């Protein structure tokens, strides 16, 4: 008889069509150790090789009742036995010639590791990761399996943490390395997730880009050899996002299997996919080895960041909805995650650095006339000896510029707060921009503490945007930032903070400085967001340079791109929505011709695109708008505010991608499918072909829905909307948009 250890937990609800009771989420066969993390939708399975005590992967995907090894026979070839195994935690130096998940250098210089299985633990719930952002959940949400490995030659233990979130078809994974020896060791490579998938035809989907061109969807075949992408920027970066998906070529937005992987981390990362001679596909996601070399002293532990993987049998759309729901419910810890966000006006594109208290209050008054309820003073408000009148001055000196704000922030914010919003009894609220991780050489801070910036000995300290990165790995820098932000928040009623970050890391004192910086950054942000949950925090890094799950743990939203052109934003927002919920995107309407692209699109189009995000606003000087535009804005805000709750709380369906259709469309459906909002766009006016019917998703087929836009309405069955679709009539004009609401009758 085989011994079974089963953790039984009762699931409290249903989602994604999944309802379960008393499901055994983690089962362990102790005789021939094998492990299964399963719900009725997914299974993640592996076993211990009885000869080598290595962990061998069996299955990750749709639910399977039994663990069946993929290939248990002998495979002959030039590799060692470890080469011809689908491994769970591949180390280096024993004849597995693929890219390893873990690579450790010992004090005598060798880099061989020999981890063997020693035991396991199972617990309900999920432990937190010391110093790192991670998913969280209680006993009814998640269960955790910890598998213990030991390298007897070097006295290093590895504990692999697997947590299953059954409601979201998700597995979270990280590991801890403990040095039980008497000499220092160095971790050269740490991939939080590693899995060897079977020999199947696969495509890899990831998001690449650059400044003002983030999250372009990249889909290609997984071929023999290594393929992957990385950020060596020091941050998650615009160039590649720490996310990838693997799916058969037949998988579409709504059909077929897909597995997504998302790294909860803000620093340099590496995603490596390697198809080996056997056809097996190794998937690694974790820290970038170029920015690691992490020393672990005797008795110390290193914790890897966490990767979340989700399985979907409803295409890439299903994968995204799993990520969205998991991240909203079990990653984001902000009070605002499920809250409607205030419509705002941000000063950056309208006034730049050229303002003073009078012009700012005037801008806030114009914002109130339009119906905005939050006014954000962007860059340029600080600096005394080096006033921030352009981007070469003042970063680091977080005191209000006395030439612009003679009495400091307090009286200025009071003036803004006294402004009444048009047609409302509400008063304006105030938000402020900061960039605390940076310093200009022309600043009091740099003159006092030149050693605080990231630098490498006597190497040149290369400037980018005229600034240097402060080394947040230093505790004195962490304390400085906490103190200055606390002082700013104490000086005036500040409702919102936009935390910007505008360059990558160049010269670093050592490769490990990047991870030390991240631990310092997380400490600072953890401290401030815990102390100030009432503040609406927004991340930004020259647009979407740090749109990653690490920061979404602390901040509910992030500025999506500095490219505010409506058309470009469609591509960027659809791409960003692969892993990240639209509720976490901040999107603004700017003036035309657009600052970045020179393109002119209608105001209604720009507003519709921006309304697909959690945080909506304007980034322009209203005094430059014509009267028609000024007259239109209040009703655009009213529409946006009406649909904002469902944009924030609903399930998101990409109906047609801008990459593939002249008529891109998306919709949000409430969790009970009793209401929805549809966004549809026409990019170019086209006589032929005519638009395809727009088949909706996520509705109750048997229910009737009233579909309308305020001036027109019609009632249809869900089955008609799902299976026949809407034929929208488009005017003969470029850049058109339609927003329709659907209410169950």
Applying CB under 6 A, the residues found at the interface with ligand DGJ are 348, 378-379, 433, 500, 502, 540, 542-543, 559, 562
Q: Closer to ligand DGJ at the Cβ: 211 or 412? A: 211
Residue with token string 């490579």: 189
| Smallest distance from ligand DGJ to CB 572, Å | 13
Kind of pairing between the strands at 23-29 and 18-19:
unpaired
Please give the Cα distance from 574 to 669 (Å, whole number). Answer: 17
The residues facing 227 across adjacent strands are: 273
CB 141 within 8 A of CB 162: no
Nearest C-alpha neighbor of 161 from the set 54, 65, 58, 44? 44
The one catalytic residue in 58, 96, 196, 500 is 500
Query: How many Cα atoms occupy the beta-carbon half-sphere of 267 within 13 Å?
Result: 26
| Smallest distance from ligand DGJ to CB 583, Å | 20
Q: Closer to ligand DGJ at the Cβ: 33 or 400? A: 400
| Smallest distance from ligand DGJ to CB 505, Å | 17
Enter the DSSP assignment of 427.
Answer: B
Structure tokens at 168: 């979201």
Enter the DSSP assignment of 723.
Answer: H
Q: Closer to ligand DGJ at the Cβ: 545 or 549? A: 545
Q: Closer to ligand DGJ at the Cβ: 282 or 503? A: 503
Does an H or E element contain 648, and which? Answer: helix 627-649
Residue nearest to ligand DGJ (CB): 379
Kind of pairing between the strands at 258-264 and 306-312:
antiparallel
Q: Closer to ligand DGJ at the Cβ: 318 or 394? A: 394
CA angle 737, 612, 245 (to 5 degrees): 115
Kind of pairing between the strands at 156-165 and 143-151:
antiparallel
CB 220 within 8 A of CB 236: no
Please give the Cα distance from 311 to 421 (Å, whole number). Answer: 46
Nearest C-alpha neighbor of 41 from the set 144, 169, 157, 203? 169
The one catalytic residue in 562, 563, 621, 651 is 562
Structure tokens at 307: 């990767």
CB 121 within 8 A of CB 294: no
Alpha helices in 400-533 (DSSP H): 409-417, 444-448, 475-491, 513-531
| Smallest distance from ligand DGJ to CB 313, Å | 38
Active site residue 391: no
Q: Closer to ligand DGJ at the Cβ: 83 or 440? A: 440
| Smallest distance from ligand DGJ to CB 537, Å | 14
| Smallest distance from ligand DGJ to CB 437, Å | 13
| Smallest distance from ligand DGJ to CB 87, Å | 42
Please give the Cα distance from 114 to 276 (Å, whole number). Answer: 22
Active site residue 196: no
| Smallest distance from ligand DGJ to CB 113, Å | 42
Kind of pairing between the strands at 42-48 and 258-264:
unpaired
Please give the Cα distance from 275 to 284 (Å, whole number). Answer: 12
Q: Closer to ligand DGJ at the Cβ: 355 or 433? A: 433
Q: Closer to ligand DGJ at the Cβ: 137 or 556? A: 556
Kind of pairing between the strands at 468-469 and 615-619:
unpaired
Catalytic residues: 500, 562
């Amino acid at each position: 008889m085989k011994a079974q250890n089963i953790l039984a937990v009762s699931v409290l609800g249903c989602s994604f069509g999944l309802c379960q009771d008393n499901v055994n989420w983690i089962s362990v066969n102790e005789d021939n150790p094998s492990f299964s993390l399963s719900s009725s939708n997914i299974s993640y399975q592996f076993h211990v090789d009885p000869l080598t005590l290595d962990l061998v992967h069996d299955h990750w995907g749709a639910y399977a009742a039994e663990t069946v090894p993929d290939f248990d026979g002998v495979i002959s070839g030039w590799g060692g036995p470890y080469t011809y195994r689908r491994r769970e935690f591949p180390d280096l130096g024993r004849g597995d010639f693929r890219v390893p998940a873990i690579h450790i250098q010992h004090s005598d210089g060798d880099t061989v590791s020999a981890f063997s299985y020693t035991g396991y633990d199972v617990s309900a719930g999920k432990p937190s990761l010391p110093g790192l952002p991670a998913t969280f959940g209680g006993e009814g949400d998640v269960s955790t399996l910890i598998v213990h490995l030991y390298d007897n030659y070097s006295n290093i233990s590895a504990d692999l943490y697997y947590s299953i979130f059954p409601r979201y078809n998700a597995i979270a994974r990280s590991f801890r390395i403990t040095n039980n020896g008497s000499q220092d060791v160095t971790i050269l490579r740490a991939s939080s997730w590693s899995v060897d998938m079977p020999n199947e035809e696969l495509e890899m989907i990831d998001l690449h880009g650059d400044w003002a061109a983030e999250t372009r969807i990249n889909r290609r075949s997984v071929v023999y050899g290594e393929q992957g992408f990385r950020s060596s920027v020091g941050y998650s970066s615009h160039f590649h996002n720490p996310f990838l998906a693997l799916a058969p070529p037949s998988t579409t937005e709504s059909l077929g299997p897909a597995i997504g992987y998302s790294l909860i981390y803000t620093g340099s990362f590496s995603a490596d996919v390697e198809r080996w001679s056997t056809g097996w596909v190794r998937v690694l996601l974790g820290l970038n080895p170029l920015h690691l070399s992490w020393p672990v002293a005797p008795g110390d532990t290193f914790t890897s960041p966490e990767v979340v993987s989700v399985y979907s049998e409803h295409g890439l759309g299903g994968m995204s909805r799993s990520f969205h729901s998991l991240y909203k419910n079990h990653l984001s810890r902000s009070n605002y995650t499920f809250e409607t966000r205030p419509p705002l006006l941000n000063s950056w594109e309208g006034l730049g650095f050229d303002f003073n208290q009078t012009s700012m209050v005037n801008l806030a008054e114009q914002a109130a006339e339009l119906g905005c309820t939050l006014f954000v003073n962007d860059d340029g408000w600080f600096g005394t000896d080096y006033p921030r009148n352009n981007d070469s001055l003042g970063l680091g000196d977080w005191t209000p510029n006395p030439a612009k704000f003679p009495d400091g922030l307090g009286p200025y914010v009071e003036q803004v707060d006294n402004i009444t919003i048009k047609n409302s009894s509400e008063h304006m609220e105030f938000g402020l921009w900061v960039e605390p991780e940076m310093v200009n050489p022309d600043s009091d801070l740099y003159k006092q503490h030149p050693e605080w910036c990231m630098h490498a000995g006597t190497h040149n300290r290369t400037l980018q945007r005229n600034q240097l990165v402060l080394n947040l790995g230093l505790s004195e820098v962490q304390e400085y930032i906490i103190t200055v932000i606390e002082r700013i928040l104490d000086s005036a009623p500040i409702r919102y903070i936009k935390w910007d970050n505008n360059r990558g890391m160049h010269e670093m004192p050592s490769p490990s400085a990047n991870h030390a910086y991240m631990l310092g950054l997380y400490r600072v942000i953890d401290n401030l967001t815990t102390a100030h949950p009432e503040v609406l925090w927004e991340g930004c890094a020259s647009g979407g340079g740090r749109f990653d799950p690490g920061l979404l743990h602390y901040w509910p939203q992030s500025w999506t791109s500095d490219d505010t052109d409506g058309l470009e934003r469609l591509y960027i927002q659809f791409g960003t929505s692969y892993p990240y919920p639209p509720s976490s995107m901040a999107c603004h309407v700017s003036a035309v011709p657009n600052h970045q692209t020179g393109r002119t699109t209608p105001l209604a189009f720009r507003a519709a695109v921006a309304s697909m995000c959690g945080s909506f606003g304007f980034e322009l000087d209203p005094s430059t708008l014509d009267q028609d535009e000024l007259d239109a804005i209040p009703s655009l805000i009213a529409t946006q505010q009406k649909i904002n709750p469902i944009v924030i709380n609903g399930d998101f369906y990409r109906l047609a991608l801008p990459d593939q259709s002249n008529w891109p469309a998306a919709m949000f459906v409430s969790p009970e499918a009793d209401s929805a909002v549809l966004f549809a766009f026409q990019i170019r006016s086209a006589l032929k072909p005519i638009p395809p019917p727009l088949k909706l998703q996520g509705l109750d087929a048997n229910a009737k829905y009233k579909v309308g836009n305020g001036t027109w309405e019609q009632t249809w069955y869900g089955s008609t909307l799902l299976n026949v679709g809407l034929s929208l009539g488009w005017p003969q004009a470029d850049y058109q948009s339609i927003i329709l609401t659907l209410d169950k009758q």
